[in-house]
Amino acid sequence: MTTSTATAHVSIWGELADVDHELRHVDVGGVRTRVLQAGAGPDLVLLHGTGGHLEAYARNIGGLARSFRVTAYDMVGHGWSDLPDTPFTIDVLSEHLVGLLDVLGIGVAHLSGESLGGWVAAWTAAHHPGRVDRLVLNTPGNIANKPEVMARLKESTTRAVADPSEENVRPRVEWLFHDKSQVTDELVDLRRGVYSRPGFRRAVDNILVLQDPVIRRPYSWDPSWVGRIASPTLLLWTDHDPTGGLDEAQMLLDWIPDSRLHVISDAGHWPQWEQATHYLAAHQAFLGAGA
């Protein structure tokens, strides 16, 4: 691992060490769900991507918690939340999110989702409009439903879970990054821990059903439901996203009535990690720091 950017961030714990926060599990419709909350102010919920976990936002929680009550959580079938044996389609993930809001006593929240989390956030805004204030879709991923992107994600994730060795998991994590020197050993080991959980091999099959074009079709990005999003929406894109370029961002701009685009340079699929300062500034400007 090179120095420069990588040595500026070594530990997830280092990012949270001076941040007052609570990490706990709550019951959401029988699903034991891991949740981290920090800060005070308007509610902001952060949603991770496919096969991910709430530590995807370790570099952002402290900054965002100065202006918002931040909630990051492991979606059902992900991280250290429960792994029920059911396909984790977008409607299932969205209902779990709405259930979590109910359990936490959150009536209305800003949602910011990365990759799969952006898809879930958008679906929730379209189907539960009364629960979503403003919406940030952070590299939401493969808007055009390209088969080659689905196949690559399914193959790399399945291989890493089937054999969660350093050799298999590191490339899966590096795929998220433009600057691969920012992929720390700790981050790889954390993902290896998730993938090694009892039952996760079955869970990943349930996660990856969305990479099957037939199962994906009812939930695919489409103006028939995307156009129902009434929330003001920020499309947070990057110049090196491996899942889709600015042409796909333009599709969402055309479909979502009140939407705008912001591009973060020198980042891949995880701008919240690679360009944390830029990510924070974009959220504060759009959501209203201290609102």
Q: What is the pLDDT of residue 10?
A: 57
Of all residues in the chain, what percent carry a pLDDT higher than 90? 90
98 or 17: which leads in pLDDT? 98
Q: Which helix (H) or strand (E) holds 45?
A: strand 43-47
- Are 137 and 290 a contacting pair, CB within 8 Å? no
Q: What is the pLDDT of residue 119?
A: 97
Rounded Cα–Cα distance for residues 78 and 281 (Å): 28
For the stretch 172-221, pLDDT in tens is 999 999 999 999 999 999 999 999 999 999 999 999 999 999 999 999 99
Question: Mean pLDDT over all residues of the chain?
Answer: 94
Which of 45-59, 92-106, 137-151 comes out lowest in average pLDDT? 137-151
Of all residues in the chain, what percent carry a pLDDT higher than 70? 96
How large is the average pLDDT for residues 43-56?
97
For the stretch 66-90, pLDDT in tens is 999 999 999 999 999 999 999 999 9
1 pLDDT higher than 90 = no
Q: Which two tokens stand for residue 95?
A: 């209902």
- Are 260 and 235 a contacting pair, CB within 8 Å? yes
27 or 1: which leads in pLDDT? 27
**What is the topology classification, in CATH, of domain 34-287?**
Rossmann fold (3.40.50)
Q: Given pLDDT bands bounded at 50, 70 and 90, which one contains residue 8?
A: low
Q: Given pLDDT bands bounded at 50, 70 and 90, which one contains residue 11?
A: confident
SS3 52: coil
Closest CA to 188 of 201, 199, 177: 177
160 pLDDT higher than 60 = yes
9 pLDDT higher than 70 = no
Q: What is the pLDDT of residue 277?
A: 96
Amino acid at 2: T
Q: Which two tokens stand for residue 54?
A: 């709430």
Q: What is the pLDDT of residue 141?
A: 85
How large is the average pLDDT for residues 1-25?
74
Q: What is the pLDDT of residue 7?
A: 46
Rounded Cα–Cα distance for residues 54 and 117 (Å): 11
For the stretch 217-238, pLDDT in tens is 999 999 999 999 999 999 999 9
CA angle 44, 172, 165 (to 5 degrees): 120
Rounded Cα–Cα distance for residues 63 and 58 (Å): 10
266 or 1: which leads in pLDDT? 266
DSSP 229: -
Q: Given pLDDT bands bounded at 50, 70 and 90, which one contains residue 6?
A: very low
Q: Given pLDDT bands bounded at 50, 70 and 90, which one contains residue 289?
A: low
Q: Which two tokens stand for residue 28?
A: 């959401």
How large is the average pLDDT for residues 255-281?
97
Closest CA to 37 of 88, 74, 71: 71
SS3 85: coil
